[in-house]
Amino acid sequence: MTENLSILIDHWKADPHSSFNSWFLWDERLKNFRSIRRGIGQVVRDIDAGTFGNQYRGSSLETVVGSVAEQRQIFKGADHAFLWKPKLRIPDIYENGDNQRAFSRLLNACDCCDTAEAVIAAIQRIDALKIKGLGPAVANLLYFIHPTLVMPFNTAIVKGYNAITGGNVKLGRWDHYLSMREGAIRLNGEHRTRLSNDLGAIAGLMFDVGSGRYPAPPRPGDVGGMRSWEEDLDKVRQESAAAQRQWAAERESDTSHTEIQSWLRDMGRSLGYAVWIASNDRGRLHQGVPLGDGCLTQLPVGAQAGAEAVKLIDVVWVDAATQSVAAAFEVEHSTSIYSGIVRMLDLALGTEVGAKSTLFLVAPDNRRDEVAQQLRRPAFSRVSELGIRYLPYSQLQQHREAIGRFGSGLKPLLEISQAL
């Protein structure tokens, strides 16, 4: 079993379309951790203050769960478990104040602890209350607080776990979830060199098996099953090779994203700003040169609130005289506009830096309608108060050289961008 699972993991990691490559190693996943954790904190504060309301739509919970569900590689549909179903009265955290506060205590306890024992104790306390409809789907939120302690959860992950281990984990039960978590941690330990301390990796493997992309290894002694399994693996490998063209197109998308960052970098320098490139993008090459070459190696934000979030913003302009952040840019070339807005909200509402700088969401012209559609969500009703601006590619491309040569300060960018 161990040897066969090792073979499966190696095939899985080599597949560019596996959840390992499309999600686990995806830069956007890492960017979302802080904004989701901060969103969970906002849910707790809203419930404790009595301002959470009695419905999912428009609540702070919708914003944070939406940020998870947008990671469609393994979390598509993650919001379904939280949608209020009045006929079934589930999940019973909208109209029952006691249950709502218990949910808040669970989130807060996990946010404030740092051990597996404390997380499990918090889960056992919520389980003892038997709140109707509030089951292990909550683990998808807790994962973004403690990725090394909590495993994501959905139907495909459960199916994959049962197929690989021969288990009988059932949906909707916290005790079954905790048993699956224990088993997955044991498997993860056996294959640590191939997987990760972050339980998202093994969850992604289970998801791809459970969703039918990969066959589970046969049980020991099943010779016929072993032969069929090897044939199925070979078929997956051939399909992966045929999909390289799509992978190349995705890489081209990354290149375009990097090019836009280079435009903003060069324009910022021309306007006299020091420039910071996102810490996880500094080494990306543009025209053979690392994107972060000649840029700031440290942000002058010190221990300000939200300093770590600022380091992941695509491009930041720093006023050389005052050492303060003048502008921050999130480039949304092909990734979710929703996630970009959430990160901007996180920066604007949760940091001293965001409150004192101008924030730009940079996206292709053909995504204008998508931006408008997302901004109609009740969860983003505060965007208009924050001064976040939409900067279309065409305006940036058309005017960047003139702005760099003749412009001064942020005024030219304010002219070519639109208030959101």
3-class SS letters over the chain: CHHHHHHHHHHHHHCCCCHHHHHHCCHHHHHHHHHHHHHHHHHHHHHHHCCCCCCCCCCHHHHHHHHHHCCHHHHCCCCHHHCCECCCCECCCCCCHHHHHHHHHHHHHHHHCCCHHHHHHHHHHHHHHCCCCCCHHHHHHHHCCCCCCCCCCCHHHHHHHHHHHCCCCCCCCHHHHHHHHHHHHHHHHHCCCCCCCCCHHHHHHHHHHHCCCCCCCCCCCCHHHHHHHHHHHHHHHHHHHHCHHHHHHHHHHHHHHHHHHHHHHHHHHHCCCEEEECCCCCCCEECCEECCCCCCCCCCCCCCCCHHHHCCCCEEEECCCCCCEEEEEEECCCCCHHHHHHHHHHHHHHCHHHHCCEEEEEECHHHHHHHHHHHCCHHHCCHHHHCCEEEEHHHHHHHHHHHHHHCCCCHHHHHHCEEC
Comparing 280 with 146, the larger pLDDT belongs to 146
Mean pLDDT of 185-213: 95
* Range scoring the smallest mean pLDDT among 46-55, 142-151, 411-420: 411-420
Comparing 227 with 324, the larger pLDDT belongs to 324
Comparing 244 with 164, the larger pLDDT belongs to 164
pLDDT tens figures, 324-341? 889 989 888 655 677 777
**pLDDT tier, 139 (very low <50, low <70, confident <90, very high otherwise):** very high
Residue 246: is its pLDDT beyond 60?
no
Residue 193: is its pLDDT beyond 50?
yes
Instruction: For the chain, give the mean pLDDT.
Output: 84
Percentage of the chain surpassing pLDDT 70? 84
Percentage of the chain surpassing pLDDT 90? 48
Residue 273: is its pLDDT beyond 70?
yes
